[in-house]
Structure formats: structure tokens, C-alpha cells
Amino acid sequence: MRSIRTRLLTILIASTGLVWLLAVMWIYVSTQAEVERVLDARLTEAARMVNSLLAEQRIELALADDRESRPTEFQLQDPSYERQLSCQIWSLDGTLVGRSEHAPEDRLTDAGSGFSESVVDGETWRVYAIENPDLGVRVMVGDSLHVRDRLVGDVVKGLAIPAALILPFLAGVIWISVRRGMSPLNQMADSLSSRAASDLRPLPDDNLSKEIAPAIHALNGLFRRVEEAREREKIFTAFAAHELKTPLAGLKTQAQVALASQNGEVHENALRQIAAGVDRTSRLVRQLLDLAAVEGTDRAPHPAEGVPSDVVRRILADMPAAGERVGVEADDKAVARFDPVLLELALRNLIENALCHSEGKVVVRVRNARHNLEVVVEDEGFGIATDDLPRVFERFFRGRTQSQTGSGLGLAIAQEAIVRMGGTLTLRNRNPHGLAATISMPAQTAK
């Protein structure tokens, strides 16, 4: 597992080192250019100074016609030039007539006036020359490039060495800063690790930094949703237990009646009640499983190409007793894309609901528009009271017009399945009586 702290430290130290390196390179280049400019100016100044001294006859030179005499050795007046600069005075006919102390005896440059570079005795020189036609001499002042490079190197080392020594200290400061900066995360981790599994209280969100606040808000939102889900499960379990307890108690009573009675008619009626109770209990258990399947998983819709009316007929085939009461009006050639599992789940519960609340005919109409699939289930029952309409999709809500077999789950299951497919389920009381349940959802019509 990679540590965010280690990663952050690595990035900061690497970026800081890179900045230092770039700064040193920039200083080296700029210092070298500046030193070159200053030293060239010094060469020019020194050459002009020597030329001026010659013109003022303040430097004694060997006579031009005394070819056997040794060239005059002189010292530049500026002591700083003695160590680094070398000066030569050559006659225009090529005779060395004077040179500074430690200057080479070979000619510093063969170029004319101005700057030039040359190699003398294996050493590279930067030379500035001035021709003085009145005196018949050429003044050359040279500077060793090796000395210049050493000077630039010393400047850069003077900056790089302290920087290298400071870098470990800087890394320590970065480490401490990162550790302190991540302390809210550590506190959050400590708070979460010390909690019990049932503790879903929100984390404190006062005085949070902008970086931590989104994570805290997301966690608090998750805690809230988990708490709501747990509360729904508690309610669901309580209602399910209550709804199962009633028919089971009825079954036990009818069984006791059947066992105790010797009357054949009473015995037969008790058995019919037991059979009806088993049917109600089976339907309730199936609806509970359907609701758990729809809500308890994160199943995403899987649309497939199919004929919507085939789904209706497949449902009716599983309900032989309802075959004569349910009519289907649909275009069998209409093909659409929909999730067959979710659509079947919704339609089965709507058809069963219509049969439970109506003694008359139930009609299922399937209309497939270009981009919309619409399925309407109409019955001839009493409809739903206006006051109950806002609550009919609540689980186990039966309203005023209760049936003996209804559990209050059919509409909740149908709505959940339709919503998962991105559609809507609307209810409308029919005139003069009855209920129309309309499923409307994008059909993704097949080509």
C-alpha cells in the first residue's frame, strides 16, 4: 500500500531539488556571462592603460634598433592585474620590446586590434590588442581562460555547497510540514477506527480545511444513507413479520377447526380457508422476495430487444385463473428494447393488484411509440380514494379499499422496478369506476 505522505514527501523534495538544480544552472550561466563581460572590460582597460603609459613615456622600452638587448620587463601598477593579467608590447615589425612579469615569451596573439583567443604553450588566452602607429608598437593584454573558469567555478561552488548542505534541513522541514498538514486525516482515521459498527453519527465538520471537507461530507452522507437503509430494513422486517403472523395464525385456527369438527361442511370450509390462506401467504412471501430483489441489490437494468405483449402473455400464462378476466390489446409486431425481468415484475404485480381489487374485467393495453413504451392496466374496481393516492406506493399501505388477499406491496414493487428502468408509474381513477395504472418509459425502439 502506497503512503500518501511518502508520495507527497517524494514529490516535494524532488521538485525542490529540481528547482535548486535549475537555479544553480541559471546562476552558473548568468555568472559566467557576467564574469566574461567584466573581465573583458578589465582587459580593455588594462591594454588602454599600458598604451597610455607608453604614450606618456612612463614605461621605458628597449630601443627598436637595439636588437640584442633584452625586452623591458615592467609591472602593471594595479597589483590585482599582476597575478592574472599578462601584457606584451611588440613592435609592429614583430620584435618583443616589453612584457610584464610572468608573461609568456611567445606572442599572445597574431590577430590585430581587438579581442581574440589563442593557445600559447598549451594554455588558452583571451587577448585584447591595441596598435599604436605613432610609437610603432602593439600592446597585448591577455587573460588565461583557465583562471576565468576557475573563478566562475568558485562562484558556483560558493552557492551550490551551501544549497546542498541546506537541502537535508529543508527535507526535514518539509517532512514536519507534511506531517502536520495531514494530521486532520490521522485524526479522522483514529476517530473512525475507534467506532463501533453500529455508530453512524456524523463526523464533526467544523473548521475543516477545503481539502478534507469533501471527504468528511461524503462520509457523513454515506453514514446518513446507511442509517436510512437500516431504518427501512427495520420497518420492512417489522411489517413483514406482522403480515406473515396474521395469515399463519389464521391457518392455525382453521387447522384446529378442521381437526376438532366432525361436521363435514365445517371441515370442508376450514380446508378451503386453509387453501386460501396458503395462497395469500405464498403471494405475500413472493412479493417480499420480489421487493428484496428489486431494492436489496444494485442490479442495473439490462435492456434487450423484445415484444412487450409477449411479456404480458407470459405473465397471464402463469395465472390460469385470471385468463378469462384479463384482456390484452397490443400490437404483436411492435418491437422495443426494455429490461424483461423488471417489466415482468412490475406488470405481474399490477395485474395481480387489479384482479384483487376488481370483480370485473381487466384490460392490459400496450402502446409502443417511437421513443416511448406505454403499458396501461385498467380494472373495473372501486379505484383509490383521493386521500390515499399520495400514499399508495408506500409499503404495506392498503388504504380504505382493502382486499382479503392484498398485502400493500404490489404497487411499491411495481414503482421500484419502473423507476429502475428510468420510467414512471402513474395511477388514475377511471370514470365511472375503476383504476388505470400507466407505465411510461423510454423504449429504445429497435431498428
Task: Give the per-residue SS3 of the chain.
Answer: CCCHHHHHHHHHHHHHHHHHHHHHHHHHHHHHHHHHHHHHHHHHHHHHHHHHHHHCCCCCCCCCCCCCCCCEEECCCCHHHHHHEEEEEEECCCCEEEEECCCCCCCCCCCCCEEEEEEECCEEEEEEEEEECCCCEEEEEEEEHHHHHHHHHHHHHHHHHHHHHHHHHHHHHHHHHHHHHCHHHHHHHHHHHCCCCCCCCCCCCCCCCCCCHHHHHHHHHHHHHHHHHHHHHHHHHHHHHHHHHHHHHHHHHHHHHHHHCCCHHHHHHHHHHHHHHHHHHHHHHHHHHHHHHHHCCCCCCCCEEECHHHHHHHHHHCCHHHCCCEEEEECCCCCEEECHHHHHHHHHHHHHHHHHCCCCCEEEEEEECCCEEEEEEECCCCCCCHHHHHHCCCCCCCCCCCCCCCCCCHHHHHHHHHHHCCCEEEEEECCCCCEEEEEEEECCCCC
The model carries a pTM of 0.48
Residue 88 has a pLDDT of 85
Residue 60 has a pLDDT of 62
Once rounded to an integer, what is the mean pLDDT over residues 109-130?
Answer: 86
Residue 214 has a pLDDT of 87
pLDDT band at 401 (very low <50, low <70, confident <90, very high): low
Once rounded to an integer, what is the mean pLDDT over residues 152-160?
Answer: 79
Of 246 and 327, the structure prediction assigns the larger pLDDT to 327
154 pLDDT above the threshold of 80: yes
Query: What is the separation, in whole angstroms, between the first and last Cα of the chain?
Result: 50
434 pLDDT above the threshold of 60: yes
CA distance 225 to 238: 20
pLDDT band at 328 (very low <50, low <70, confident <90, very high): confident
CATH of 212-295, one of 1.10.760, 1.10.287, 3.40.5, 1.20.120: 1.10.287
Residue 1 has a pLDDT of 53
pLDDT band at 436 (very low <50, low <70, confident <90, very high): very high
120 pLDDT above the threshold of 70: yes
Nearest to 90 by CA among 42, 129, 142: 129
92 pLDDT above the threshold of 70: yes
Fold of 4-57+72-157: Beta-Lactamase (3.30.450)
CA distance 175 to 203: 27
Residue 298 has a pLDDT of 58
Q: Per this entry, what is the length of the chain?
A: 447
Average pLDDT, rounded, for the chain: 80
Once rounded to an integer, what is the mean pLDDT over residues 365-380?
Answer: 83
Of 238 and 109, the structure prediction assigns the larger pLDDT to 109
Which residues, other chains included, contact 441 with Cβ-Cβ below 8 Å and sequence gap of 6+? Answer: 338, 372, 373, 418, 421, 422, 423, 424
Residue 315 has a pLDDT of 86
Neighbour-count burial of 7, counting CB atoms closer than 10 A to its CB (0-12 exposed, 13-18 middle, 19+ buried): exposed
pLDDT band at 108 (very low <50, low <70, confident <90, very high): confident
Q: Scan for cell 482515521, then name that residue.
A: 189
Once rounded to an integer, what is the mean pLDDT over residues 436-444?
Answer: 82
**Least confidently predicted of 77-86, 273-282, 285-294:** 77-86
Residue 393 has a pLDDT of 82
Cell of 30: 548568468
Would you kindly state where each structural domain of the chain is located, as residue ranges? 4-57+72-157, 212-295, 301-442
pLDDT band at 76 (very low <50, low <70, confident <90, very high): low
- Amino acid letter at 70? R
Cell of 338: 426494455
Residue 353 has a pLDDT of 85
Residue 377 has a pLDDT of 92
Please say whether the dihedral angle defined by the alpha carbons of residues 342, 344, 347 and 352, taken in this order, is positive or negative: negative
Q: Which of 5-14, 120-129, 406-415 has the highest mean pLDDT?
A: 120-129
Pairing mode, if any, of strands 372-378 and 435-442? antiparallel
64 pLDDT above the threshold of 50: no
Instruction: Name the percent of the chain lying above pLDDT 70.
Output: 87
Q: Is-contact 139 54, C-beta < 8 A? A: yes
79 pLDDT above the threshold of 60: no
Nearest to 408 by CA among 419, 399, 417: 399
Nearest to 67 by CA among 96, 88, 99: 96
Once rounded to an integer, what is the mean pLDDT over residues 377-395?
Answer: 83
Once rounded to an integer, what is the mean pLDDT over residues 18-41?
Answer: 85
32 pLDDT above the threshold of 70: yes
Q: Is-contact 360 380, C-beta < 8 A? A: yes
Q: Is-contact 376 354, C-beta < 8 A? A: no
405 pLDDT above the threshold of 70: no
CA distance 215 to 221: 10
- CATH number for the region 301-442 comes to 3.30.565.10
Nearest to 97 by CA among 127, 64, 125: 64
Once rounded to an integer, what is the mean pLDDT over residues 69-75?
Answer: 54
pLDDT band at 63 (very low <50, low <70, confident <90, very high): very low
pLDDT band at 16 (very low <50, low <70, confident <90, very high): confident
Q: Scan for cell 591594454, then name that residue.
A: 47
Q: Which of 243-257, 284-298, 412-426 has the highest mean pLDDT?
A: 412-426
Neighbour-count burial of 1, counting CB atoms closer than 10 A to its CB (0-12 exposed, 13-18 middle, 19+ buried): exposed
